[in-house]
Copies of this chain bind each other. A is one copy, B any other.
Amino acid sequence: MAAITQPPSGMRDLLPEDVRRRERVIGAVRQVYESHGFEPLETPSCERLDVLLGKYGDEGDQLMFRVMHRRDKLRSALDDGALRTDPERVLADMALRYDLTVPLARVVAEHQGKLPRVFKRFQIQPVWRADRPQKGRFREFLQCDLDVAGSSARTVEVEVLSAASEVLQRLGFADFRVRINHRGVLAGMIEAAGIPAELEASTFVAIDKLDKIGRDGVLRELATRGVTAESAASIATMLDPVDGGNDAELARLRTFLAPSPRGLAALDDLAAVLALAAGSPLAARLAVDPSLARGLSYYTGSIFEITVPDLAGSLGGGGRYDGLIGIFLGRDVPACGFSLGLERIIVVMEERGMFGGPTAAADAMVGIFDASLTRDALALARELRETGLRVDLHCDASKIGKQYQDADSRGVPCVALVGPDEVGRGTVSLKWLKTGERAEVPRGEAAAWIRQRLGTT
């Protein structure tokens, strides 16, 4: 047979070990986010095309996976005059979710009566983008979003960042930095550098590329976009790191932003977030970074990014965006959020060996001594499971050596057997595969014997 058995391009099968690793990361995210008073939300995989279109720019509209009309509706769409000019619109009215922010905005509008005034939610669900598949970039991947909708208080920034950084801490990351900047500070820098307001957006875009193209690349890009050499040189001084930490950076910014009242106001706002975080574990991670721009256009206040030294790009990012959540309500709803890059976190954890070795499918396997003793084996498996152990049962009475091999091939560390002698004596024979250690213990003590060797109690 030559059947194609691969998953679709850019999508993955997650085998048991992959799922267990993901679950471990997701479990940490969920626990930390719930401990901060955030609540879980789930939305459908599909959204109406009208909900999605126009929210992500032209590229986003192109990269959506559209779900085709069915039967009669599809057939009548084929007769639609607009079929040739606008087939994406005529042949479909739904698409797979592109992110978790637009669905949040829709939910805030749809369920406003049922949601608290300040809605603190997290959402961990896949999103789909028809990007060109490449190493580490998939067409279906999990997003992991944390947002507060309905408050413009600065405690929100601190809570969002504390929660995201506690997740990384909990997962074992010791060397991450939480870079922070402010869109108003950036705008003020642009103003103070004498760059005209109409070049503000292109200047953001150029600065956002600093990590990829370097300082000189940014200068060249600014020139291309029409920024004078003098202004470009002026703003570029602020892209270099400064010695002396956040206080020195804030002082440098205060001097630079002197000509821009709005820049100074934004700097006060940024300083207020830092002041609220002072004394917390987050404070030691926070690094004010005037070169942080973030790609998305919708941010209106603080912006953040979490980075580690061995990964280009970030482990996650976010910021305040007071204009977006209210799109469906028709009025602004202040909001601030953070999106953890779960797939990247897993990649870094794998590269660093942070997951340890493969996890076993079960804590023990009960073998079947011979077919006539199958019920005894089933009973033993039941007893061990009742103590909370994960216990596999060998499906048949193969040769015992074969049964040991089957356990070993699944990483199961222990095999338990009851033969006729053990039945007579009320015991279990146990073998710890890694060391070869064997013991015959009273039936009631088998679970404890296994647990002791698993290192759990």
Contact = CB atoms under 8 A, between A and B. Distances in A.
Interface of A: 1, 3-8, 11-16, 18-20, 22-23, 34-37, 39-48, 50-51, 62-63, 65-68, 70-71, 74-75, 78, 83-84, 87-88, 91-92, 94, 96, 106-107, 109-111, 114-118, 120-121, 126, 128, 130, 140, 148, 151, 153, 155-156, 158-159, 162, 275-281, 327-330, 361-362, 365, 368, 374-375, 377-379, 382, 385, 388-393, 395-396, 406, 409-410, 412
Closest CB pairs A-B (n = 7): A37-B392, A11-B44, A1-B330, A16-B39, A5-B110, A19-B40, A14-B42
A140 B8 CA distance: 20
A453 B383 CA distance: 35
A41 B67 contact: no
A148 B276 CA distance: 54
B67 A393 contact: no
Nearest to A387: B35
A59 to B, nearest CB: 12
21 contacts: A3-B50, A3-B109, A3-B330, A4-B48, A6-B48, A8-B94, A13-B44, A13-B110, A14-B41, A15-B111, A15-B114, A18-B42, A22-B42, A45-B96, A45-B126, A67-B67, A117-B409, A118-B406, A120-B392, A148-B395, A281-B382
- Main SS at interface, chain A: mixed
- Indicate how many identical chains form the complex: 2
Given A74-B88, A396-B151, A410-B116, A13 B1 contact: no
A183 B208 CA distance: 65
A265 to B, nearest CB: 18
B37 A19 contact: no
Contact of A4 (B51, B327, B377): B51
Given A155-B368, A328-B5, A395-B156, A41 B62 contact: no
A44 B8 contact: yes
Given A37-B365, A390-B35, A395-B155, A44 B375 contact: no
A378 B40 contact: no
A378 to B, nearest CB: 6
Nearest to A277: B378
B391 A7 contact: no
Contact of A389 (B35, B63, B382): B35
Nearest to A70: B130
A412 to B, nearest CB: 8
A111 to B, nearest CB: 6
B88 A276 contact: no
